[in-house]
Amino acid sequence: MSGPQVRITDPRQVPQSTGATIKAYVELTKPRIIELLLITTIPAMIVAEQGWPDPWLMVATLLGGTLSAGGANAINNVVDRDIDVVMRRTRNRPLPSSRVRPGSALAFGIALGFAGFVVLWATSNLLAAVLSTAGLLFYVFVYTMYLKRSSTQNIVVGGAAGAVPALVGWAAVTGSLALPAWIMFAIVFFWTPPHFWALALRYSDDYAVAGIPMLPVVVGPRRTIEHIEVYTWVLVGVSLLLYPTGAVGLIYLFAALVLGAWLLAAAYRLQRRTGEAMRFFGFSNLYLALLSLAMIVDVLV
């Protein structure tokens, strides 16, 4: 008669149902960040078309862009798993919580990125596919693997990756790039630093523990707020440049002025109330969403 069998398992491996596994893989793509894709791609397509583009082209472009962005975020999870595990904000992500193995997450991210390229090439054009994949590679190799851990300007340069969807949307419609597309790219590019520095103010202790040189960790909250104010001024100025191109009209111009004044007021309020960083973070999200909506309304009305 044999004795009881002993099964040795990895204590870090959490048994999961199929539903929980799917949920973990979805989390790898950082769906909330992908919302930025929707906010910037759709207006770029509508402004490029000067009306509603073909619905199937819109769906396909959003699908391809979502796959590329999801792939970039999944690979980012793999690269950042060593710092995510020590940060309160990120320690419950799929890799630090051992719900997904690093190798599986990496394969998943690469597959998504490849699928995004194929979908965009097959349904729109090669330029849109190349731009989307270039955004993925820039986010992974330039921002995640280098800048994030080495420079206080990490999010400034890295913001280019998040601004690429505007170019993808324009290219999907026209097969080329024009000045309005680059201005929409610049809007997101200059929006990203004040938006993300507000989040970094809230979680500066986390970044300090992880050894990430985010601006608040290196120069402190006061200097960071000064940077937020400067970049907000630049953002508002850049947003107004879209009007002289003729791609949008007075509805957009009025909205850009009002929303810009609102965001600047919120930035200066941080000087007196540094604890309101997350409130500014929320304002910046709403600003970009409403500015994008103004582009759509201006063209379609």
The per-residue pLDDT for range 61-77, each reduced to its tens digit, is: 999 999 999 999 999 99
Is the per-residue pLDDT at 4 higher than 50? no
Tokens for 256? 């850009």
Q: Residue 15: its pLDDT value, please?
A: 53
Which numeric CATH code is attached to 27-300? 1.10.600
Local confidence band at 12 (pLDDT 50, 70, 90 cut-offs):
low
87: DSSP letter: -
Question: Three-state SS for 48?
Answer: helix
Q: Which stretch of 11-20, 41-50, 90-99, 271-280 has the lowest confidence by average pLDDT? A: 11-20
Q: Are 206 and 87 in contact (CB under 8 A)?
A: yes
pLDDT digits (tens, 9 = 90+) for 201-222: 998 888 898 889 999 999 999 9
H helix or E strand, kind and range, residue 162: helix 154-174
Q: What angle in degrees, to the nearest 10, is found between the helix axes of 250-272 and 215-240? A: 160
What average pLDDT score do residues 235-253 get?
Answer: 97
Distance CA 238, CA 140 (A): 27
Distance CA 284, CA 232 (A): 10
Give ∠ CA 140-77-70 in degrees, rounded to 5: 70
Distance CA 105, CA 21 (A): 12
Q: Are 30 and 109 in contact (CB under 8 A)?
A: no
Q: Residue 105: its pLDDT value, please?
A: 94
Q: Residue 266: its pLDDT value, please?
A: 94
Q: What angle in degrees, to the nearest 10, is found between the helix axes of 154-174 and 179-202? A: 150
| Contacts of 18 by beta carbon, 8 Å cutoff, 6+ apart | none
Q: Residue 275: its pLDDT value, please?
A: 78
End-to-end CA distance of the chain: 83
Question: How much is the pTM?
Answer: 0.91
Place of tokens 């073909």: 54
97: DSSP letter: T
pLDDT digits (tens, 9 = 90+) for 106-122: 999 999 999 999 999 99
Sign of CA dihedral 194, 195, 196, 198: positive
Q: Residue 8: its pLDDT value, please?
A: 38
Name the average pLDDT for the chain.
91
pLDDT digits (tens, 9 = 90+) for 245-281: 999 999 999 999 999 999 999 999 988 887 788 999 9
Q: Which stretch of 103-112, 154-163, 225-234, 277-286 has the lowest confidence by average pLDDT? A: 154-163
